[in-house]
Amino acid sequence: MMATRSTPELVHAARAWEDDLDYPSAVLSGIVGDARHRASGGYHISIEDNPPGNYSVVRVDDAAPPGKWPRDRAAAIDMSMSPKDMVKCYKRVRAVWSNPADPRRRFFNAFNVWDGSGDAVRLDFVTGTASYATPDHKWHNHGEWRRRYVNDPAATRAMLSMLRGESVAAYQKEEDDVSWSERIKRRPWVTQTWPHLGEDARADATLAGIYGFSRLSAERAAELLAGQRAILAAIAGQDVAEAAERAAREGARAGAAEALDELAEGLADRLTEVPAEQVRQAVAEVLRERDRRAAGDDPQ
């Protein structure tokens, strides 16, 4: 039986858009489409659940096969907002869409947005064209990722950068700064483990979901880290998990990014001693438990 699911990156991006950016009215409207979406197809519906030839499954970064990205995942986020926040979001999305040299463009198919007057507009990032969007997009933004990037943390970073209104230079500087999660990715145990993990597990195994705490509220940082705590405990010990959560909470409250970097370096060093098979088993068990809970927790 076919079914559409979300991805950790889509969920992370949506919750950060809703909770952590300067859109006070933002309310997540959905990721995985309902029966109406399923009937017409589109990016809220997986490749395998779409009607053959649907517009969302034919472009080069969407079609699978030949692409090897997941066939069972959604690739869009809906975010409801007040008119004031809709206009702010429109200006920021349009700035990226209108610049052919902006590297963030490559992750997205299109955004449906509204500038506060007249019709809503669909900004196509692939063709660079603007067209009509239905009236419901006057109260909610609709953002489509190219399907090949639904599991890519780089797409999350690019989208949140765009929605923050960052310049290209600011985005590229952030990308050039090697975050502590990137340092962890380069450790030997990750290299050894990756061949045995699926796309979702790789994202969690590298702890990619807990970068950037210095920009988050203490409450949000603790919430994000809590989702990874079981993995940390399983592969590096309960004391490391507790220390990481405590450092994230205190570091975010004080804005002490240095403390988090120090913790990360120590954690990465410790993980080099963990056998790859132990990491794989721990991550697999944690993901199985999370999947059992996620059906009722993840946005639909």
pLDDT digits (tens, 9 = 90+) for 206-226: 443 333 334 444 454 455 555
Contact 17, 26 (CB under 8 A): yes
Q: Is residue 139 one of the residues assigned to a domain?
A: yes
Q: Which residues of the chain have pLDDT under 70?
A: 1-2, 174-232, 234-237, 239-241, 243-300
Query: Which domain, by its residues, includes 112?
Result: 8-172
| Residue 167 and residue 193 in one domain | no
Contact 107, 75 (CB under 8 A): no
Contact 180, 261 (CB under 8 A): yes
| Residue 64 and residue 19 in one domain | yes
| Residue 249 and residue 188 in one domain | yes
Q: Is residue 53 one of the residues assigned to a domain?
A: yes
Q: Which of 172, 187, 210 marks a domain boundary?
A: 172
| Residue 123 and residue 184 in one domain | no
What are the phi and psi torsion angles at 113 (to 5°)? -140, 175
Bridge partners of 77, per DSSP, are 143
Residues whose CB falls within 8 Å of the CB of residue 54, separated by 6 or more in sequence, listed in order:
41, 42
Average pLDDT, the chain: 75
Q: Is residue 109 one of the residues assigned to a domain?
A: yes
pLDDT tens for 278-288 read 555 555 555 45
Q: Count of domains in the chain?
A: 2
| Residue 186 and residue 165 in one domain | no
Q: Is residue 2 one of the residues assigned to a domain?
A: no
Q: Is residue 1 one of the residues assigned to a domain?
A: no
Q: Is residue 206 one of the residues assigned to a domain?
A: yes
Question: Token pair of 24, please?
Answer: 């006070």
Q: Is residue 284 one of the residues assigned to a domain?
A: yes
Predicted pLDDT at 235: 62
Q: Is residue 56 one of the residues assigned to a domain?
A: yes
Q: Which of 172, 202, 234 marks a domain boundary?
A: 172
3-state SS of the chain? Answer: CCCCECCHHHHHHHHHHHHCCCCCCCEEEECCCCHHHHHHCCCCCCCCCCCCCCHHHCCCCCCCCCCCCCCCECCEEEEECCHHHHHHHHHHHHHHHCCCCCHHHHHEEEEEECCCCCCEEEEECCCCCEEEECHHHHCEEEEEECHHHCCCHHHHHHHHHHHHCCCHHHHHHHHHCCCHHHHHHCCHHHHHHHHHCCHHHHHHHCCHHHCCHHHCCHHHHHHHHHHHHHHHHHHHCHHHHHHHHHHHHHHHHHCCHHHHHHHHHHHHHHHCCCCHHHHHHHHHHHHHHHHHHHHHHCCC
| Residue 43 and residue 167 in one domain | yes
| Residue 168 and residue 184 in one domain | no
| Residue 202 and residue 236 in one domain | yes
Q: Which of 102, 137, 172 marks a domain boundary?
A: 172
| Residue 208 and residue 73 in one domain | no
Bridge partners of 124, per DSSP, are 110
